[in-house]
Amino acid sequence: MSDFVNGFWGIFISVVAVGGVLWCVWLLYTQRRWLGAKPAAGQVEDTGHVWDGDLTELNNPVPTWWTWMYLLACLFALGYLFFMPGLGSYKGQLGYSSTEEVARHQAQMANAVRPIYARFETMTVPQISQDAGAREIGQRLFLNNCAQCHGSDAKGGPSFPNLTDGDWLHGGSPEVIMKTIKEGRHGVMPPWKAAIDAKAAGDIAQYVRSLSGLTADPIRVFRGKREFGNFCVACHGVDGKGNPLVGAPNLTDDVWLYGSSEASIVKTILDGRDNRMPAHEHILNPEQIKVLTAWVWGLSNKPEGAGDVQAVDTKAVDTAAVGTAAVGTAAVDTAAVDTAAVGTVAVGTTPLAK
C-alpha cells in the first residue's frame, strides 16, 4: 500500500477505508433506539412471519453483547489503519513492510542452504552434473522455475525447446547455458510478408522440409532453393545449418520448435516469430544458477548413473525443499511471468525458427 506513487489513488483509498468504518459507526448510532431495550414480559412484537403454523419470528431488540462486538470491530479497524500501512501511501506507525518481510525470509533461506551449495563452488559444471545430490537439487530448481514452460520432463512443447535432445540454438556449452539462464534470450525471426508472397513461401517451406529429409515436392524444392538463397542464407547459411552466434536454428536436423508442416513453416516465414526467454538472475542466486546449469547440461550429456528425466507431478513437489529460490515463491511474480522459463538455452526463436 505504502508503495503507491500516484497521489490520487492514495487519497481515494484512504477516504474509502476510513469513510467505510465511520459509516458503520454512524449506522449503529442511527439504530440506537433498538439497542439494549428490554420489552416488558408479554409485550414482544413479532414480524408477522409464521412458519409451520406455530413458529413465529419475534422482533427482539439487538443483544447488548452484539452491540459491543460491533463497536470493538470498528475500533479494531481504525487501530489497524493507524498502526499498519492500509491507507494509500501512509506507512503506519509500526513501519511494517511485506516486502521487507519477504526479503528477511529469503535471507534466512539463503543462510540455511548456503552450506549445501558451498561444496559446489570449486566444482565445474560437468562435475556437478555427476553429483547425485546436485542433480536432485537441480531438478527441484527446474520444477519450481522452469517446468511451467518446458514441462516436468524438460521435453518442451510448441515454442518451448526440448532440453533433452542436444539441439541448441545458441550452443550447448555450460557457459552458454548459464548465460541464457542468467540473462535470458530474445529470439526474433523477422516477417517476410512484404518481400515474399505465399506461393514463394510455400516453395521455401518445401525446400526446408527437404533439408531434414521430410517428404517434399521436387519441383517446388527447386524453386524454393533459389528463394532460400535470396532471403535466408544470411542467417541460416548456404547449407541451412544455422548460426549459433545469432541463434539461427539448424534446418537440416529433425528438431522443429513450431512444427514441421508446410503451414507452420509458411506462417513462420510470412509472419515471423518473436519469443523470449526471461532472465532469472534476479530470481535465482549464482549458486542456484550453477547447479541448475549443471542439471540442464546433464540432460543431453548424460552423467554416469543418471537416467532419463521422468515427468513429475509438480503439485507434489515440496517447494520448501533445498531447490526453491525463496520462501513462498514459485518463481515469478508470477509475475512475472507471465511467466517464466528458466532452464532453456533458447526459448528465443530466431531466423526461420524451427
Per the annotation, binding residues are: 146, 149-150, 189, 232, 235-236, 277
Question: Residue 288 class from Cβ within 10 Å (0-12 exposed, 13-18 middle, 19+ buried)?
Answer: buried
* Contact criterion met (CB below 8 Å) for 240 and 251: yes
Give the number of other Cβ atoms within 10 Å of residue 214's Cβ.
14
CA distance 31 to 73: 17
Question: 176: Cβ–Cβ under 8 A, 6 or more apart, which residues?
Answer: 168, 170, 345
The whole-angstrom distance between residue 354's C-alpha and the CA centroid of its chain comes to 24
Q: Which of 100, 99, 97, 102 is nearest to 327 (CA)?
A: 102
Q: Given CA atoms 114, 302, 139, 244 in this order, what sign does their dihedral have?
A: positive
CA distance 153 to 268: 27
CA distance 134 to 125: 10
Cell digits of residue 81: 489503519
CA distance 100 to 37: 50
Q: Given CA atoms 107, 108, 110, 115 in this order, what sign does their dihedral have?
A: positive
DSSP 195-228: TS-HHHHHHHHHHHHHHTT----HHHHHHHHHHH
Q: Which of 20, 27, 280 is nearest to 141 (CA)?
A: 280
CA angle 145, 111, 335 (to 5 degrees): 30
Q: Which residues are annotated as a binding site for heme c?
A: 146, 149-150, 189, 232, 235-236, 277
Q: Which of 284, 264, 263, 260 is nearest to 273 (CA)?
A: 264
